[in-house]
Amino acid sequence: MILLRAEQFVVETGLPILPNMPRIAELPDSDAAWKNRSVADVVALWKDAVKSQRTAEAVMARNWLAINRGKDGDCYEAAVANARWGKQELALRFLLEVARREDFSVSDILSEEHFSSLLKHPRWSEVRKDLETCATLWKESRYARAILTLPKKHIKGSEIRIVVGLHGYGSLPEDFVGDDFQKICDEQQVAFLAVSGRGVMTRNSFEWTSDLNADVAHIFSQIEAVKDHAKEKSGQTVIMGFSQGGQMALQLLAMHHERMRGIIAMSPGSRNPSQMRRAIPAASSEKLAGKTALISWIHGEGKGMANRCESDAAWLRSHGAKATIREFPGEDHSWPDDYAGYFLSFLREIN
């Protein structure tokens, strides 16, 4: 478990063993003046250099950020900058770092105009092979990432309501991480656990699979993994999910209602058929008594999504749950604009 800050931890398991590829350990062509710069200084320098068309300095700043900041996308942007500037060897090395640390697709790299010159580089076939190997190793791995956010002054290991965040198809647990979630934890005294889908697409892209039981076991294993910091309060767990994660939330409530207090399912749906209705026999009309569900969609998603949400809510009510539906304005398959207020109002209601 890695401490990100006082109230936040990340748990990573199943990291693949990647091939031994050339690494960039320090900034090429740099001088002592670059050694002691802060991230804020270099970001400001980069913006000014781009605005003033000081290309060499802008590329140097991009390289520094890729090596020293480590933010997702930094290595990719450094590869683009070096390829544009004709620094092909550096561009190739940064692409290899992308394969290790970031979200990437070999087909996207091949179709990217900025990288067209790299395809003629003498080492391109070797680098492409390494990129494809990395992509395969990530996809075939059992890599998982969970991020735990705790309220300030939480007593380590004490019982607490855990709110589990489940992302949509192709996304990542960081969807449920940030200042808004820290505020929710502090106000409601809950722990927020953002969990990656069991299906690994790339380093930073996951999905929920067709094996529902294995996916559920994966989620519960992540709750178990953080118990030394946040012990699950019996019967009080809340699941919040979007899209594929929203469908997972509905299925979890039906399958493991004894562990749940309630769910938020935002625009639920998946390429895998829902198994929610199979979890509880039709005759068991009160199995979900005392549970609360809030199911929502975005207006622009259309009548099909609205009908599905209304149908799911009706089924939950038929089994004793308090199920509410809500349509939010918007055009796309996305989170509600005021998702933080939405989450907070739900948690206040079920307290």
Q: CATH class for domain 32-140?
A: mainly alpha
Looking at every residue in the chain, the average pLDDT score rounds to: 91
pLDDT: which is higher, 103 or 28: 103
Burial of 331 (0-12, 13-18, 19+ CB in 10 A): exposed
Q: Domain boundaries in the chain?
A: 32-140, 144-350
Query: Which of 4-8, 17-21, 93-97, 143-147 has maximum average pLDDT?
Result: 143-147
pLDDT of residue 95 exceeding 80, the answer is yes
pTM of structure: 0.88
DSSP string, 317-329: HHTT-EEEEEEE-
Give the C-alpha distances (Å, rounded to integers) separating 226 from 8, 145, 146, 237.
Answer: 11, 12, 9, 14
Given a contact cutoff of 8 angstroms between Cβ atoms, the answer to whether 221 and 147 are in contact is: no
Average pLDDT over every residue of 226-247: 96
| Residue 180 structure tokens | 């808004």
Q: Above pLDDT 70, what percent of the chain?
A: 93
The amino acid at 321? A
Three-state SS at 314: helix
252-257: long-range contacts (C-beta < 8 A, 24 or more apart)? 252/216, 252/219, 253/288, 253/291, 253/293, 253/316, 253/321, 254/279, 254/280, 254/288, 254/319, 255/216, 255/279, 256/216, 257/287, 257/288, 257/291
Average pLDDT over every residue of 24-34: 61
23-32, 115-124, 205-214, 302-311: which has the minimum mean pLDDT?
Answer: 23-32
Which architecture characterizes domain 144-350 according to CATH?
3-Layer(aba) Sandwich (3.40)
Given a contact cutoff of 8 angstroms between Cβ atoms, the answer to whether 102 and 203 are in contact is: yes
Residue-level pLDDT at 174: 95
